[in-house]
Structure 1
């Protein structure tokens, strides 16, 4: 009797795992915040990057980034994104970690926010 009860309970558990209702994982495309964003390119991007290069905020951030052990790569692959939902201009400047991975120095509206690991930005 004990073996039959064990067999029935196990069968019920297996049925509920595969045949019963569950929580369906919904795939979500786009960024994680549900924000409306727009990539800035061309002359407008150059103007924003130029203004950032002239700022004391960037000069101070470069010192802080070097103190944290990152190498400054320059501004060759800068990304500029405008967050329309929150009215924020976001600038990401690639920096190299000690192990060779590329991280991103992040600026929101010209204010340095820190360095973020790959695939966590924007």
Structure 2
């Protein structure tokens, strides 16, 4: 049952992306260096990794919580952010993050910010990564 619901939500979100393409504007993106500085300074926003469990455990941005994009609608309560606090969302290259961001908007998170370059850009810049299931 959960798998069927998961598949259905995936199809619906991808269909919505085709019908209503989501493109991050410059003001809704953050670059890797800026996010790394915020993490190092201890004032990072909520960070959500929307990749698979395997990808997340292999290496993720320090402090990022794991919410696979297809579970965003029912797991958004794991995000500690209020009001207009920014929520940084990323995946490997972009599509899953944009689908999750759309769902977060529906769940009342008005300030979704996408990581420019996503995890591939973060890794390419050789920025710190956390391995395992803990943020």
Bigger helix fraction: 2
On whether the aligned pair clears a TM of 0.5, the verdict is: no
Say which structure, 1 or 2, has more relative contact order (CA 8 Å, 6+ apart): 2
TM-score range, shorter chain: under 0.3
Larger radius of gyration: 1
Q: What's the TM-score once normalised by structure 1's chain length?
A: 0.27
